[in-house]
């Protein structure tokens, strides 16, 4: 695989790297997932604060990461989108390859880390604003916009530091539970989620017109989301 196909843009602004770590409000008890650790610039700051589980796809960069000597660091080589389901962590802090932004959000909705700090393309914000599930489960904001000059080589787009914090209100908790059952069909996940408030027959009656009953909860339609919010309320 050629380097340019790996979507590699290394952050070279040291002050920005420090701010990214500060946004994550790290504690010694945290376990941080770093996706696309690259040359380790962010990694070396994170391991001063807490435990880090870093993923890197590029074999040459992975060899360089292995030279970092720290009990706070564990490394995995491979595709983060495939590996993430089997990794335990409570926060994500990463300068990700922008090409994985959308599929990574789905993984985040399933894993539900309490805090996420990502560097990604500024254009990705329009996708987030349309993602109804994300808005139910996470509060999110742009901490700052990032110039192309903060990277080498420079990306084709301006970037942003995206901050997501897990919600804990009634509706958020319901949908978090629903998405934790992403390996089930929606109809079965809903029977489980409503088992303490509705009988199975009552649940079946309320959801019989839903669009996505045979799909995974992660692929729920906006129409279904609105109807579920009405049932919860």
Burial class of 150 by CB neighbour count within 10 A (0 to 12, 13 to 18, 19+)? buried
Helix H or strand E segment including 102: helix 101-111
Can you give the pTM of this predicted structure?
0.94
Look-up: residue for tokens 């729920």? 220
- How far apart are the C-alpha atoms of 59 and 70, rounded to whole Å? 20
80 alpha carbon, distance to own chain's centre: 11
Burial class of 166 by CB neighbour count within 10 A (0 to 12, 13 to 18, 19+)? middle
| Nearest Cα residue to 43 out of 79, 75, 15 | 75
CA geometry: angle 64, 69, 75, nearest 5 deg: 60
| Nearest Cα residue to 90 out of 136, 25, 36 | 25
CA geometry: angle 61, 66, 67, nearest 5 deg: 100
Q: Residue 163 in contact with residue 141, Cβ under 8 Å?
A: yes
Q: Is the peptide bond before 153 cis (omega within 30 degrees of 0)?
A: yes
Superfamily designation of domain 3-167: Vaccinia Virus protein VP39 (3.40.50.150)
- How far apart are the C-alpha atoms of 65 and 59, rounded to whole Å? 10
- How far apart are the C-alpha atoms of 104 and 175, rounded to whole Å? 18
Instruction: Kindly state the DSSP code that residue 215 receives in the 8-state scheme.
Output: S
Q: What is the pLDDT of residue 6?
A: 59
Burial class of 231 by CB neighbour count within 10 A (0 to 12, 13 to 18, 19+)? middle
Q: What is the pLDDT of residue 2?
A: 37
> CB neighbours of 10 closer than 8 A, spacing ≥ 6?
38, 39, 41, 151, 152
DSSP secondary structure, 47-69, as one string: TTTSEEEEEE--HHHHHHHTT--
Tokens of 206: 């309320």
* Neighbouring-strand partners of residue 85: none
Annotated domain spans of the chain: 3-167, 171-232
Q: What is the pLDDT along the chain (233 residues), one digit of tens a residue?
A: 334 455 789 999 999 999 999 999 999 999 999 999 999 999 999 999 999 999 999 999 999 999 999 999 999 999 999 999 999 999 999 999 999 999 999 999 999 999 999 999 999 999 999 999 999 999 999 999 999 999 999 999 999 999 999 999 999 999 999 999 999 999 999 999 999 889 999 999 999 989 999 999 999 999 999 999 999 98
């Amino acid at each position: 695989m050629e380097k340019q196909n790996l979507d590699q843009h290394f952050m070279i602004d040291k002050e920005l790297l420090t701010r990214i770590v500060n946004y994550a409000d790290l504690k010694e008890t945290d376990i941080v997932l770093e996706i696309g650790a690259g040359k380790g610039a962010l990694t070396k700051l994170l391991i001063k604060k807490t435990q880090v589980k870093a993923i890197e796809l590029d074999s040459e960069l992975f060899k360089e990461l292995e030279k970092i000597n720290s009990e706070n660091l564990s490394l995995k080589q491979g595709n983060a989108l495939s590996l993430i389901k089997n990794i335990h962590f409570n926060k994500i802090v990463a300068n990700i390859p922008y090409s994985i932004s959308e599929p990574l959000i789905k993984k985040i909705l399933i894993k539900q880390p309490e805090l996420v700090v990502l560097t990604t393309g500024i254009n990705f914000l329009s996708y987030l604003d349309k993602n109804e599930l994300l808005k139910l489960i996470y509060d999110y904001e742009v901490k700052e916009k990032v110039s192309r000059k903060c990277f080498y080589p420079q990306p084709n787009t301006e970037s942003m530091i995206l901050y997501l914090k897990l919600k804990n209100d009634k509706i958020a908790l319901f949908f978090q539970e629903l998405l934790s059952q992403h390996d089930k069909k929606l109809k079965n996940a809903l029977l489980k989620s409503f088992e303490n408030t509705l009988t199975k027959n009552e649940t079946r009656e309320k959801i019989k017109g839903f669009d996505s009953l045979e799909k995974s909860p992660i692929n729920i339609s906006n129409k279904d989301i609105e109807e579920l919010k009405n049932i919860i309320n």
